[in-house]
A and B are shown apart, each in its own frame.
Chain A
């Protein structure tokens, strides 16, 4: 990690709202690496994505076709952006992008674009509907859950799991339902928003921890940083958190990576029943197949996981495991009004591009 890193890195997910995408954090972590001398191209879906306007963060920017446009549209756009920017690495940061990028890996390589993403099979095995099967692996506990296609089956699940229980969208979102009518309402909400199935999961009470980790694709864990959320938004997203030194949490992440032969970044969401951090009390409630939005904390605590992923993408060896991070490093998010130039907005709106060193007109 002490060698010069001069890649031109495209990072998606510049939408840093109160439910932020991870792109800004990934870009900040790369900037944090003193050996990074490359360029960062921010990518998003809206010219008003806040990351495009963050001072000193990006060297260029681009608007992508929405994920529903499909992998061919993404491939076409990446090819255009390779010509525009000379992109050599792509770091997708949104759930909705990971499958498409994984399935395009060889085509992207042919364009000279390196990625470090999991296989489509591993992504599928980490998905919410498939998560219970991971509980068959020794040392990995997963709360019971059932994938539901129709509302008719909900009353039986309420009797089986008892209230409260957790209702989850197939791609995104989770809600704790305290009444049977809440269960039904959340089922219809997530079915309408993200499609079927909807996942119904037994509710566990305890402390929530998150681990951001990177796998090398052979089953080894490159690095991992564990964090406890200190404050949540009304959507349940972490607004503040602190790194913790828990061998049990890191061991659990290592088991997940080994079981899935995970390649690239992921986030393991964990409930520690009774607040105890040992093998029998830790339960994996979700796996996100990408960096979490708090991943800058990994760089700030001494283990720069985004930098490691970019280095692995370009074939540069990194020490496995990475040096230990510092516990007790804390983050607190802030909302502030960035003063932006209308020229940036205009450029992105009109052309979908923010070229290198765009001259910003007054």
Chain B
């Protein structure tokens, strides 16, 4: 199983509601996490996700986007959605 197989199974709505059809767990994510999650689901690297979010949300370079993306990855790992 690749690192994104479990992510690919997630059903994600535009409103930021996420349903895991394997466990039945549901999550709510904000707009930036939603963009990051969708990119990760497509197989983007963390670095590419950070760049995508910075561009999409027009953040300043010193904003903590990288920290937030790595925090998201950590939470996904806790929930068994990535390795």
Contact = CB atoms under 8 A, between A and B. Distances in A.
Nearest to B11: A328
Interface residues of A, number: 16
Contact of B22 (A227, A230, A241, A244): A244
A244 B80 contact: no
Interface of B: 11, 19, 21-26, 80
A242 B80 contact: no
Contacts of A246: 22-23
B23 A277 contact: yes
Contact of A245 (B22, B25, B26): B22
13 contacts: A228-B23, A241-B24, A242-B24, A243-B24, A244-B22, A244-B23, A244-B24, A275-B25, A276-B80, A277-B23, A327-B21, A327-B22, A328-B19
Interface in A220-263: 227-228, 230, 241-246
Contacts of A207: 23-24
Contacts of A243: 24
Contacts of A241: 24
Contacts of B26: 230
Contacts of B23: 207, 228, 244, 246, 275, 277
B11, B19, B24, B26 pick with most chain A CB within 10 angstroms: B24
A341 B30 CA distance: 51
Interface in A187-245: 207, 209, 227-228, 230, 241-245
Contacts of A228: 23-25
B78 to A, nearest CB: 10
Interface in A316-334: 327-328
Contacts of B11: 328
B21 A328 contact: yes
Nearest to B19: A328
A328 B23 CA distance: 10
Given A227-B24, A244-B24, A245-B22, 6 more contacts: A228-B23, A228-B25, A230-B26, A244-B21, A244-B22, A327-B21
